[in-house]
Structure 1
């Protein structure tokens, strides 16, 4: 079975042109005949011409095969090169992450972004790490799903996860009752913080006033200037300023993404009910942004309301993996040990090298 652990080595195949070029040229010395008058002329070294023709075709074929075998051996051979490494989640709290890295003794370790499906990806690419290397994953617990079985690794792996902010959509801050046709129905109170310039604040107030009347007046949105314990949503529409570090809410609506919210640079995209939303988790809460913030007409406002209500029925997330340490439980890499092309390629390479030396020596004699 042919296995390319590092297939980029096959990009070196153009090197086969070197022996072809070498064998196509031949240096031919011009035949010189002495004349009687040549003794009166200054001496000159003999000239050489290069003419293109095929020479030693068997030797050329052996050298090309030797280069192909060398490239194949490099592509199939595993050279572990990574040392101690920290796989860090881009959305994790930076201060907490640095504390965990320092506590685990990985301050000098190489850092790389956490790939999707980190545990599965690590099992598939574990061959890149040296035998004495150790690994550390620092992430939010929602980014590392708990596997059905305890994963087995050939290296010691420490996992440090932090609880992510609550991300239920939209959260209920409180309820009251209102009479409608003689019946009593619950009224959901939504506490919203509005931080916007006065020129745009009126558009947001009109939006939440429309939200109050939508859905049979099942929800009541109350606006405030600062968040409290019951705040479920913060609307941030001041792109030239930074929100206070103490502000926290389950959800943020960001009208104009800026460098203040770097998590949105890697945001996921969700299209629902004709509204395109981008979202990303952060220590402040889940960040949302859209070109529809704030809506510019009644149809867009209605579509945004329906989209936000549909998001309230999100499926439950996968079980998060708690912080733990995985000891070395694998002595070999099964995906690699089943295919051993490097051994016979090395033997073939040695045989071709010996044959090439024999042919080269025979040609000289």
Structure 2
């Protein structure tokens, strides 16, 4: 349906209908011949149309209503944006001013976008005119590199500000262990925290829990869920030798259960091996960031239609109400 929507603009000649309608005499006066009229020469009656102010307003209201209806059906957004600077939130103001001045776009429109720049461009590229230039300013490492080079209909330049060191991540960990071994688990995660990450030990899992350490003989509660579990002993599953440890994992309804690790590690060597295996297997790899570059227009397909404005139905309703009000005033 979207590909056919621009064809509604072919209905614009329908605007001639109100003009033709208003040119016709809608009320015809009943004429009766007088008895003495037969002695007069016959002639065609001539009527003169006198327009009142209500006629002009009614004609304009009908033309606007019909044009608005056609535009609403066509859902075509005409490009209106010129040169634009697309900004990510939180950039240093002095760096932004330097990059804008270096690009010669001091008078360009500035837009702050919460969406990733490429997503915003693919969604709203139909808003820019054909000769518009787009400068994208973002942080280094925040724009992921797509698998294929972007195909855009406009010249787009990416400039990246220096990256800001993110705060260390916080991992919520549930440790269920007897009192005599709980202190060893606490010391273990405290040592893990020296690598930069923070580990917060809690009593029960929630939506942010990353790991559950189950160091008990009884089974865990069925309602407990976590992406990863550490369990004692060995179990059938996928073998993953890592950092000299015979690790194995199996996916269960409660999460991925890891076994084969020292329980708990007896010295710092085993603790380091367990930490390296945890970081290598449990942490998702980061995506490749997009570098600073300039993209020439590649003939990308510009979307033919945009989204309907939320106020458009109210405009149609207001025009219809105005047309009915003027039509009533014209008849009275």
Q: Could you say which TM-score interval applies, normalised by the shorter chain? A: 0.3 to 0.5
Select the structure that is richer in strand.
1
Q: TM-score by structure 2 length? A: 0.41
Q: TM-score by structure 1 length? A: 0.38
